[in-house]
Chain A
Amino acid sequence: MTQVLITNCIGIFIVQNKKIADKILFRHLEDFKNQKHIAQQEAQLLKKHSAAKKTTFFIFPQHREFLQKFFEINLEQAKKACKAAVRKEHLVMQASDAIKDIEKAINPLVKRVQEWYALYCPEAVEAVKNQEAFIRLILSKDRKEILKEQQISFSIGADIVQKDVDIIYALATKIQILQAEKISLEMYIDGALHDIAPNLSALAGPLLAAELIAKTGSLQKLAAMPSSTIQMLGAENALFRFMRGQGRCPKHGIIVNYPLLANAKAKNKGKIARRFAGALARAAKVDYFKGDPYVGYKFKEHFERDVAELLQRKDNIT
């Protein structure tokens, strides 16, 4: 049986017929990372066992005494890997998800305040439908001022004591804080994407860009995707339903949030989505390989011109 030389994370071994003939153990994990050190030690062992051959892919035989060592090295390595794995993208993804969570949280809370405040002053709720504007209104003006503004002399709301009104204001204040937090998160994402995905951000806007990265898991995965996959991101269920033979093929996934696409007519949506996804795929690739950070504006211009031409052509035909 021939002798083989194996180098693994715990040491350098001469193995013959699954038995260890000779060994040099590493003192710690750094030794395994040090190529020079390994080469020296390997040469030393090979001098002693001239028949041994060096292999790179050889499974180390199971020996009880080394199991503990394997455990220690792997745990140390895993801890270091966890620490090193966090990148800026992960922070942006969390911020992007946080915005979504805040949006989800604000909506029912504002509705609650509207219903609650309507007991006191239903005129204000009736006049201002916009959620943000409503919260701003009730916090900046009291009932008298609101009524005066709308030139109403008699309110149909109940006259409740100040203590009961204050508790509504307290909740409204917290909602306003959440709204402000959302804006600061958006600004944070904008700034962070400037470093990691400037072109994608320029083309799609920071929020959509962050959402795309969050959906795929990393910029690397997004860059490796074909544009057709990017077009369908977020519409997986509809797509698979279509592939199973039910329903119609979805035209777009989360990229529908892009204003130009959202405002388009239904018959043009598919065409615009395809063009937009193509531009996104290009921008993601440039970003991942750290290319020209300003080319995104060019893509955007090109895409918008393309869409304008398409719409013109469509109008001329019909």
Chain B
Amino acid sequence: MFQEIQTGLYVEKTKKGLVFWTENLLPGQTVYDENLSGNGALRQWSLKKSKIGAALAKGLPRLPLQKGDVVLYLGASTGTTVSHLSDIVGEKGMIFAVEFSFFMLRRLVFLAEKRKNIAPILADANHPEIYVPYVCEVDFLFQDIAQKNQVEIFLKNLCFLKNGKQGMIAVKAKSIDVVADTRKIYEHVKKQLEKEVKILWHRQLDPFEKDHCLFVVEKR
């Protein structure tokens, strides 16, 4: 039984728990080694490989994302999560996928050739001034970067987000401090974020992602 949570996003209740599916932009084609359903019309959202997938499984009620939205995605990597967001925003939307490593970007370029709503950008998210000419205002901001100053980077990139729209940041505690208690790190991150934005929802992603915490924030 598939139940539609929001346009393009479906949930299925199974014995093992909730399984999430997105409507495939290119029916029948896979991006990574995910399962397909309904003659390839739906793609299963991996909970272990994608932090948004893990957040959904941990009870994130809905994604602040609609068809036709423009997204800025920092730390796109090979495009696992990007592909699902591209399913949701559809052909009319656009995802600016920023990635620093050309090694990862290569996969993203091949993905972008097939899915015409992903715009790959080779840049360091730490320096938004470099990619400002290549990006426009966005409706949704997502960041998944394992850097020591990841919260700082997120706050720097908030300028791309429209007022009143939402963003998400996946914080990797071990990148900020290997030794310190993860809960203390999250507390600190929360304080840092609260100075600039309103925190709507946050949860640790165990057991899908170890020592990760996902924050949903709204720009004032």
Decide: B112 and A61 in contact? CB cutoff 8 A: no
Chain A positions 53 through 68: 1 when the CB is less than 8 Å from some CB of chain B, otherwise 0: 0001111111110110
Asked whether A216 is an interface residue with its Cβ less than 8 Å from the other chain, the reply is no
Task: Choose, from A75-83, A118-126, A168-176, the stretch at the interface.
Answer: A75-83
Can you name the residue of chain A whose Cβ is closest to the Cβ of B113? Answer: A75
Interface residues of A in 183-199 (CB under 8 A from B): none
Residues of A within 8 A of B80 (CB): none
Chain B 95-144 residues near chain A, CB threshold 8 A:
96, 102, 105-106, 108-109, 112-113, 116-122, 129, 132-139
Chain A nearest CB: distance from B90 CB in Å?
A: 12
> Which of chain B's residues have a CB closer than 8 A to the CB of A62?
70, 136-139, 162
Q: Which residue of chain B has the shortest Cβ distance to A239 in the bound complex?
A: B178
> A78–B105 Cα gap in the complex (Å)?
8
B102→A77 contact, CB < 8 A: no
Partner of A57, one of B121, B129, B136: B129
Please indicate the chain A residues that have their CB under 8 angstroms from the CB of B132 in the complex. 8, 56-59
Determine whether the beta carbon of A78 is less than 8 Å from that of B133.
no
A74's nearest neighbour on chain B, judged by CB, is: B119
How many angstroms from the CA of A117 to the CA of B167 in the assembled complex? 65
Within 8 A of A (CB), among B65-94: 70, 92, 94
Question: Does B146 make an interface contact (CB < 8 A)?
Answer: no
Main secondary structure of the interface of B (DSSP, over half): mixed
Provide the residues of chain A in CB contact with B139, threshold 8 Å.
62
Complex contacts, B112 vs chain A, CB 8 Å: 71, 75, 78
Considering only CB atoms and an 8 Å cut-off, how many residues of chain B contact the other chain? 32
A85–B124 alpha-carbon span in the complex (Å): 14
Q: B102 and A81: CB pair below 8 A?
A: yes
Q: Are A85 and B179 in contact (CB under 8 A)?
A: no
Which residues, 20 to 43 on B, are CB-close (under 8 Å) to A?
A: none
- On whether A70 and B122 interact (CB within 8 A), knowing A75-B109, A78-B109, A82-B109, the answer reads no
Does B18 belong to the interface (CB within 8 Å)? Answer: no
**A59 to B134, Cβ gap below 8 A?**
no
Asked if B138 and A74 make an inter-chain contact with CB atoms under 8 angstroms apart, the answer reads no
Instruction: Give the distance in Å from the alpha carbon of A61 to the alpha carbon of B135 in the complex.
Output: 9
Q: Does A45 contact B (CB under 8 A)?
A: no
A233–B106 alpha-carbon span in the complex (Å) = 27
Let me know if A227 is at the binding interface, CB within 8 A.
no
Residue from A58, A71, A73, A78 having most chain B Cβ neighbours under 10 A: A78
- Decide yes or no: A240 and B178 within 8 Å by CB, A82-B105, A82-B106 being known contacts: yes
19 example contacts (A-B, Cβ-Cβ < 8 A) are as follows A9-B134, A59-B159, A62-B137, A62-B138, A66-B136, A70-B94, A70-B134, A70-B136, A71-B94, A71-B112, A74-B119, A78-B108, A78-B120, A78-B121, A82-B122, A85-B122, A240-B179, A244-B178, A244-B179
Residues of A within 8 A of B (CB): 7-9, 32, 56-64, 66-67, 70-71, 73-75, 77-79, 81-82, 85-86, 240, 243-244
Beyond A58-B132, A60-B133, A75-B112, 17 extra complex contacts between A and B, CB < 8 Å: A57-B129, A59-B132, A59-B135, A59-B136, A60-B137, A61-B137, A62-B136, A62-B162, A67-B136, A71-B118, A74-B134, A75-B120, A77-B122, A79-B109, A85-B122, A86-B102, A243-B178
Residues of B within 8 A of A (CB): 70, 92, 94, 96, 102, 105-106, 108-109, 112-113, 116-122, 129, 132-139, 159-160, 162, 178-179
